[in-house]
Copies of this chain bind each other. A is one copy, B any other.
């Protein structure tokens, strides 16, 4: 039980995890909770119970819940339409979900889409909204590393264009399901190997396809250690991404928004290219984006 009742509840509901925060109108976090009941593991009628597991202690009167992420996907709780870029990261519209429990007043945020080249995002647009709220004059690129890393060009408070890279999921697939799993097992790491691999990949990104198996062969023939193999695989994949994303970051002001360790790797990789990216706190930006949506909702309904 929390002693103080929240004014509203912020929810970041991704594919594999969900997090909820009990918030005051002033932006103070009263309590937080989370679980592994991500969108990917839930049927439509399981979302409300999964949410109540996290937030029930915070509910007395009807409480507004603002949620971003894959919860609004077609396979999620209810489909929230995409807003098409170029557009504001939050266009003021939300999708209301009917609930059995009348104490819940749930609103889902829209994702963003781009018709050509085809691309979609759900969740990152809310972090971008939080970032633009803090830096309304930002003109540059935001990189949001994760399973599906997004690069978004920002200008005049709008998302102009964006592109998704699957490097994080490729790393997971190759380390868990391919022959490379023998070579990269464990958590050990080598910074120097990572940097060499970044440079190799950026110099010759077209050689990526031929470099992956050499990790296994170097383990067998030259006793390559797992720390080095793991760092090299990561560096080759992130390096190939940075090379392909060059039109996004070249000559741009860059902000990296994501989990600390992964953001640190992208930051180092970009520094090696002569960039000086910033890494603002990702959770703060998620909450700022959700808070901006909540305030708009409140204004609209009052």
Interface residues of A (CB under 8 A from B): 74, 82, 113-115, 117-120, 148, 163-167, 169-170, 172-174, 176-180, 205-210, 212-214, 216-218, 220-222, 237, 240-241, 243-245
| Selected contact of A119 from candidates B74, B206, B209, B217, CB within 8 Å | B217
Distance between Cα atoms of A118 and B119 in the complex (Å):
37
Q: Quick one: given A148-B179, A220-B120, are A208 and B208 in contact (CB under 8 Å)?
A: yes
> 9 pairs across A/B with beta carbons < 8 Å?
A120-B216, A120-B220, A120-B221, A165-B209, A166-B213, A173-B174, A176-B177, A207-B244, A210-B245
The answer to whether A209 touches B213 (Cβ under 8 A) is: no
Q: Chain B contacts of A208 at CB under 8 A? A: 205, 208-209, 240, 244
The answer to whether B165 touches A119 (Cβ under 8 A) is: no
Q: Closest Cβ of chain B: how far from A146's Cβ, in Å?
A: 12
Which of A164, A217, A240 has the most CB atoms of chain B within a 10 A radius of its CB? A217
Since A170-B173, A177-B177 are in contact, a sample of 15 more A-B pairs with Cβ atoms closer than 8 Å, ordered by chain A residue number, is A82-B221, A118-B214, A119-B214, A148-B179, A167-B209, A170-B178, A173-B173, A173-B174, A205-B209, A206-B240, A207-B244, A208-B208, A208-B209, A208-B240, A210-B245
The answer to whether B209 touches A206 (Cβ under 8 A) is: no
Q: Chain B contacts of A163 at CB under 8 A? A: 210
The answer to whether B148 touches A213 (Cβ under 8 A) is: yes
Q: Chain B contacts of A209 at CB under 8 A? A: 165-167, 205, 208, 237, 240-241, 243-244
Q: Quick one: given A118-B218, A206-B243, A240-B208, are A169 and B165 in contact (CB under 8 Å)?
A: no
Q: Chain B contacts of A207 at CB under 8 A? A: 244
With both beta carbons as reference points, the residue of chain B lying nearest to A147 in the complex is identified as B179
Q: Chain B contacts of A220 at CB under 8 A? A: 74, 113, 118, 120
Q: Closest Cβ of chain B: how far from A185's Cβ, in Å?
A: 14
The answer to whether A214 touches B178 (Cβ under 8 A) is: no
Q: Closest Cβ of chain B: how far from A126's Cβ, in Å?
A: 19
Q: Chain B contacts of A164 at CB under 8 A? A: 210, 213-214, 217
Q: Chain B contacts of A180 at CB under 8 A? A: 166
| Selected contact of A206 from candidates B167, B213, B221, B244, CB within 8 Å | B244
The answer to whether A118 touches B217 (Cβ under 8 A) is: yes
Q: Closest Cβ of chain B: how far from A232's Cβ, in Å?
A: 12
Distance between Cα atoms of A243 and B242 in the complex (Å):
19
Q: Closest Cβ of chain B: how far from A128's Cβ, in Å?
A: 18
Distance between Cα atoms of A220 and B207 in the complex (Å):
30
Distance between Cα atoms of A115 and B245 in the complex (Å):
33
Distance between Cα atoms of A120 and B114 in the complex (Å):
43
Distance between Cα atoms of A245 and B177 in the complex (Å):
24
Top 7 nearest A-B pairs by Cβ distance?
A205-B206, A118-B217, A173-B173, A164-B213, A210-B244, A209-B240, A118-B218
